Amino acid sequence: MYFSALFRQLAHIATLKPMSEQPSKQSQDPTAHLNTPGKVAVITTGGTIACTSDANGHLIPTVSGAELVSAISSRFDGSAISFEVHELNRLDSSSLTFADIDEINTAVHKVLADPEVVGVVITHGTDSMEESAIAIDTFLNDPRPVVFTGAQKPFDHPETDGPANLFEACLIASDPSARGIGALIVFGHAVLPARGATKWHTSDELAFGSNAPEEPERPTPLPLTALAKVQVEIIPAYPGASGSMVQAALDAGAQGLVVEAMGSGNVGSKFGDALGAALDAGIPVIMSTRVPRGEVSGVYGGAGGGATLAAKGAVGSRYFRAGQARILLAIAIATGRHPATLI
C-alpha cells in the first residue's frame, strides 16, 4: 500500500509539464502539500550524480553537495521544506568499503538526532547503492525516511537524470506517507524498498528493480554496529567449479561466505564438498543465486544441492542477491545474530 501510493505520486510528477507550460502553480506543484516546516538532510557521497566529464570524456567527481542541492532547491520555493547538506566524500561507489558504509551509517544517525529533520536523502553511486541502502535499513530505528538516489548520466550531460532523481528523492523524504517503512531507493520515477533492491541495468535511467514483495517485512532494527573489521567474501558457482576458492577465501581471513549459486541455490559436487567442510568448521554460509529473478530454495539433494547444504546449516538468501546477502551476513557476524533472523 505504502509503496504503491508513493509510486503513484512519482508517476504523477513525471507527467507534469515544464514550469513555463504549467497552467497554474497550485494545480501542478508537487510540493504544494509540504506545508509543515522541516529540514531534509542531504548526505552526499559521490557517484555519477556528482561527476562531470574531463577533456578525455572520463567521468570525475567534481560536483559538491551544495551544487547538487542548488540545482533543485528552487523547486521547493513556497514550501516549508529547507535543506542542509552534509558532504562526506566524492567516491566511485565501486570503491566503497565497509568502513565507508560505517561512515554513512554514522552520518545518518547523527543527522536524525536533529528533531527538525523530517527525512534524509543520500546521493550515492549506483554500483553499490543496494548494499549501502540495506546496511542503513538494517540499523534504522527511526520512522523518518532515508532515501538513496543517484544518476546514470553525469551532472554535465545535456540529458542528466540526476537533478530529477534528487528532486523526487527529496520529495519522498519529506512526505509523511514515507515514514515507518525503512530505507528506500528513489530512482527513475520508481520508489523501491531497500530490502531486495538490485541494479538491473547498466545504463537505463530506470536502473533498479526489486525481487522483494511489494511491502517486504523488516526485522527489528539493530543497534548501530561497525562493520569495518568484518570480512565476508562472495564466491561464484559455475559448472565444474572445484571449490578451491572456498579454501582460498578462508585462508585470506573470511569470516563468512556468500555463494552466488546456480539455479535455485545449487553448486557442483566438489564445490558442495568444500562448502560442507566450511560449514562443519563453523563458517556461516548464505546461498544466493546468479539468476536475476525468483527466490532461493533448497530442494535438490546431492553434495552440492541446496537441500543438502541447508541440512548442514547453509542459509538460503530468499529474494536477496549476493551483494545484499553479503551485507546482511556481515551485520549478523558483527552483531552476533544468526543470519537467518535478518533474511
- Catalytic residue, chosen from 31, 44, 45, 48, is 48
- Identify the H or E element spanning 205: none
- Ranges of H-type helices in 112-204: 129-139, 162-173
Q: How far, in Å, CA of 77 to CA of 79, rounded?
A: 5
Q: How far, in Å, CA of 233 to CA of 211, rounded?
A: 22
Scanning the structure block, which residue is given the C-alpha cell 545518518?
108
For the chain, give me the number of helices (H) and strands (E)? Answer: 10, 14
CB count within 10 Å of CB 251 equals 8
Is 93 annotated as ligand-binding?
Answer: yes
341's grid cell: 533472523
Is 106 annotated as ligand-binding?
Answer: no
Q: Is 5 helix (H, G, I), strand (E, B) or coil?
A: helix
With the CA atoms of 27, 70, 194 and 212 taken in that order, what torsion angle do they form, in degrees rounded to the nearest 10?
Answer: 40
Taking alpha carbons only, the member of 85, 7, 16 closest to residue 44 is 85
At 79, give phi and psi (nearest 5°). Answer: -90, 175
Is 127 annotated as ligand-binding?
Answer: yes
User: Is 48 labeled as catalytic in the residue annotation?
Assistant: yes
Contact 88, 47 (CB under 8 A): no
For the chain, helix, strand, coil in percent to 5 are 35, 20, 45
Q: How far, in Å, CA of 71 to CA of 52, rounded?
A: 15
Q: How far, in Å, CA of 10 to CA of 331, rounded?
A: 32
Q: Any idea which residues carry the catalytic annotation?
A: 48
Q: Which residues are annotated as a binding site for substrate?
A: 93, 126-127
